[in-house]
Structure 1
Amino acid sequence: MKTIQGPALFIAQFIGDKHPFHSLAGIAQWASQLGFRGLQLPTNDPRFLDLALAAESTAYCDDLRATLARHNLVVTELSTHLQGQLIAIHPAYESLFAAFGPPQLADRPAERQAWAAQQLALAAKASRNLGLAAHATFSGALAWPYFYPWPQRPAGLIDEAFAELARRWQPILHAFDEAGVDLCFELHPGEDLHDGITFERFLDAVQHHPRARILFDPSHFILQQLDALAFLDLYHPWIRAFHVKDAEFRISGRSGAYGGYQDWIDRPGRFRTPGDGQVDFKAIFSKLAQYDYPGWAVLEWEDCLKNSEDGAREGAAFIAQHILRVTDHAFDDFARTENTPALHRRLLGI
């Protein structure tokens, strides 16, 4: 069995214009002092990672790792959540997602999609140059507006959506395969890959590509009313990244899983700081250890109530407390007997 690595921090929600959150060195020093041992880095802000340079220069990657090493930190994964979203966008969301790409491509969706695919290809090379095993992203969505079956969907609509999604992701998956890096899709509402069934659809569409993997974030399971522990039993061979984020679902007589178009703070389902919600992290960390999860436990802070810095401080300690240092021997080894073929035959009476 493997001991999960951590605690680590996804820094996207902490980046800002003031010290220490405006530079990699600053945020590294701050995170290290809180007890983090790794950082998951977004790839859309060159202050923290110059993606094109990281893809072509091992010297740049060595310098970046040295910057983190001075604070006893490592890079855990890179993230292209924003660029991954742009691989597939339904026209209803064009204007809302346009800001995820370059301003000059805001009204040129085909060119923006090509740019996003190139960003993913660069991320594959950058991940290789940084010595990483996994990468975090979103799938994008063509079918999401049709997630509820009313009006009745035309037969074959969802099949065509996933076939097109696969066509767009296949070259990217090949690029990650060439780099020797797993591509981990965060299963997330708003993405075509948002639960086990949709991940299975995608796997079939990409012919079970060996680099198509899962970023497991149990907070989304609370909001969708999915069984996170049963999910781990079913899909643990594909899980190669892990966001530690909590959530709660407060049953209401006025609003349910769809949220009534309310702000996050008023929705029945909302994200929380680890330990403040309903995710059974004790059981989840045990399951991940049982199934030899090889990666990092990465805090993602999204809480509409608690201060982010408090959430980071508490989250680092929470993860450290929940990581199981797995045993290197069986508890009943003290009672071990000799192990020979002759003994086996004697015990069986043969």
Structure 2
Amino acid sequence: MRTIKGPALFLAQFASDVPPFGDWHGITAWAASLGYEGVQVPSGDSRLFDLDLAVSSQDWRDEFLGIAAANGIAVTELSCHLQGQLVAVHPAYDAAFDTFAPQALRGNAKARQDWAADQVGKTIRASRLLGLDAMATFSGALAWPYLYPWPQRAPGLVETAFDTLAARWRPLLEMAEDHGIDVCYELHPGEDLHDGVTFEMFLDRVGHHARANLLYDPSHFVLQQLDYLDHIDIYHDRIRMFHVKDAEFRPTGRQGVYGGFQNWADRAGRFRSPGDGQVDFAQVFSKLAKHDFPGWAVVEWECALKHPEDGAREGAEFVRRHIIRTTPHAFDDFAAQAPDKAAVAAALGLA
């Protein structure tokens, strides 16, 4: 068993134009001051990361890693959640997701998709060049608008959506194989890959590709009322990344899983800072340790109530308390006996 690495912090929710969050030196120094040892970096946020230079310039990469190291911070993974989302977009969401793409591509779904695939490919390449072995992403979605089958879905609609999704991702998974990078899909409402069943549907269509893996985030399973502990037991061999994010689900006589179109603070299911929700993180860390999880515990702050800087500060210590320093030997080794075939036979009445 390996000891989980951490604490680390996902920077996507903190990057801004306000110091110290608007540049790479400032935000890594800030993270280190809170006790973080690593950061997960959104590859599309130009304030922190230049994806084109990351794949083309060794000098840029050396400076990027050097600044982080000087501040006592490791780069844990790159994330291309937003670009991955644009690999597959249902037309109903075109206007909303156009904002994630460059201005010149808006209104051109095919050009946006091509750009997104190129961005994912560059994130794969940049990950390898930075010495990483996994990256985070969303899958995108074509079938999501048809989640609740009323009126009845057209025969073959779901199958065609997943066939298409797999066809778009297969070349990227092959690129990931060539570069030794695990593509870790965050199972997330709004994505066609949002639970175990949909992930398996995708795996079937990409030939159970070795590079199609998972970013485990229990908060999304609390909101879906899915057993997030059993999920680890089922998919531990595919879990390569871990977001420490909490959530709570408190249904009422007025609303449940769907949330009644309410804002986050007023939803029955809402995200909370680590330790403020209902996720049993003691069991989560225990199961990940048992299954020899190889990666980092990365705090992703999303909370309907708490200030982000408070959530980040508390999150570092929360993770540190929960990381299990795994034992190198069995607790009862003190009573171990030397191998003795005769004694074994005698103990079984076979002597």
TM-score range, shorter chain: over 0.9
Return the offset for 1:62. Answer: 2.1
Question: 1:189-231 CA deviation, whole Å, 9 max, x = no partner?
Answer: 0000000000000000101111000000000011000000110
The AA in structure 1 aligned to 2:206 is V
Matches of 1:10 and 1:239, distance apart in 2: 17
Q: Could you tell me which residue of structure 1 aligns to residue 195 of structure 2?
A: 195
Matches of 2:123 and 2:204, distance apart in 1: 24
Q: Could you tell me which residue of structure 1 aligns to residue 326 of structure 2?
A: 326
Are 1:244 and 1:299, in contact at CA under 8 Å, matched by a contact in 2? yes
After superposing the two structures, state which structure 1 stretch, 334-343 or 288-297, moved more: 334-343
Matches of 2:80 and 2:343, distance apart in 1: 57
Q: Could you tell me which residue of structure 1 aligns to residue 153 of structure 2?
A: 153
Return the offset for 1:154. Answer: 1.9
Matches of 1:233 and 1:21, distance apart in 2: 37
Q: Could you tell me which residue of structure 1 aligns to residue 55 of structure 2?
A: 55
Matches of 1:343 and 1:159, distance apart in 2: 60
Matches of 1:72 and 1:345, distance apart in 2: 57
Q: Does 1:9 align with 2:9?
A: yes
The AA in structure 2 aligned to 1:204 is D
The AA in structure 1 aligned to 2:42 is P
TM-score, normalised relative to structure 1: 0.98
Matches of 1:158 and 1:248, distance apart in 2: 30
Q: Does 1:274 align with 2:274?
A: yes
Matches of 1:4 and 1:197, distance apart in 2: 27
Are 2:15 and 2:47, in contact at CA under 8 Å, matched by a contact in 1? no
Are 1:89 and 1:142, in contact at CA under 8 Å, matched by a contact in 2? yes
Matches of 2:80 and 2:340, distance apart in 1: 54
Question: 1:26-80 CA deviation, whole Å, 9 max, x = no partner?
Answer: 0111100100000000011222111111112333222211111111110001000
Are 2:134 and 2:183, in contact at CA under 8 Å, matched by a contact in 1? yes
Return the offset for 1:260. Answer: 0.6
After superposition, the Cα gap between the structure-2 partners of 1:57 and 1:343, relative to the gap in structure 1 and judged at 3 Å, is farther
Return the offset for 1:315. Answer: 0.4
After superposing the two structures, state which structure 1 stretch, 50-59 or 172-181, moved more: 50-59
Q: Could you tell me which residue of structure 1 aligns to residue 317 of structure 2?
A: 317
Matches of 1:344 and 1:205, distance apart in 2: 50
The AA in structure 2 aligned to 1:52 is D
Return the offset for 1:340. Answer: 4.2
SS in 2 for 1:100: coil
User: What are the ranges of 5 or more consecutive residues in structure 1 without an aligned counterpart?
Assistant: none
Q: Does 1:214 align with 2:249?
A: no
Are 2:117 and 2:172, in contact at CA under 8 Å, matched by a contact in 1? yes
Q: Could you tell me which residue of structure 1 aligns to residue 28 of structure 2?
A: 28
Matches of 1:69 and 1:346, distance apart in 2: 60
Matches of 1:209 and 1:59, distance apart in 2: 34
Q: Could you tell me which residue of structure 2 aligns to residue 100 of structure 1?
A: 100
Matches of 2:46 and 2:268, distance apart in 1: 37
Matches of 1:58 and 1:347, distance apart in 2: 65
Matches of 1:11 and 1:211, distance apart in 2: 24
The AA in structure 2 aligned to 1:324 is I
Q: Does 1:144 align with 2:144?
A: yes
Return the offset for 1:342. Answer: 4.6
Matches of 1:343 and 1:165, distance apart in 2: 60
RMSD: 1.0
User: What are the ranges of 5 or more consecutive residues in structure 2 without an aligned counterpart?
Assistant: none
Matches of 1:341 and 1:160, distance apart in 2: 61
Matches of 1:236 and 1:103, distance apart in 2: 40
Return the offset for 1:150. Answer: 1.0
Q: How many residues align?
A: 350
Q: Could you tell me which residue of structure 1 aligns to residue 174 of structure 2?
A: 174
The AA in structure 1 aligned to 2:50 is D
Return the offset for 1:346. Answer: 4.2
Q: Could you tell me which residue of structure 1 aligns to residue 294 of structure 2?
A: 294
Are 2:251 and 2:257, in contact at CA under 8 Å, matched by a contact in 1? no
Are 1:10 and 1:300, in contact at CA under 8 Å, matched by a contact in 2? yes
Q: Could you tell me which residue of structure 1 aligns to residue 337 of structure 2?
A: 337
Q: Could you tell me which residue of structure 1 aligns to residue 131 of structure 2?
A: 131
Matches of 2:254 and 2:45, distance apart in 1: 40
SS in 1 for 2:33: helix
TM-score, normalised relative to structure 2: 0.98
SS in 1 for 2:75: strand
After superposing the two structures, state which structure 1 stretch, 213-222 or 52-61, moved more: 52-61
Matches of 1:250 and 1:338, distance apart in 2: 55
Matches of 1:140 and 1:70, distance apart in 2: 36
Percent identity over the alignment is 58
Are 1:56 and 1:125, in contact at CA under 8 Å, matched by a contact in 2? no
Return the offset for 1:153. Answer: 1.1
Matches of 2:311 and 2:89, distance apart in 1: 32
Return the offset for 1:235. Answer: 0.6
Are 2:40 and 2:77, in contact at CA under 8 Å, matched by a contact in 1? yes
Matches of 1:343 and 1:152, distance apart in 2: 68
SS in 1 for 2:99: helix
Q: Could you tell me which residue of structure 1 aligns to residue 78 of structure 2?
A: 78
The AA in structure 2 aligned to 1:63 is E
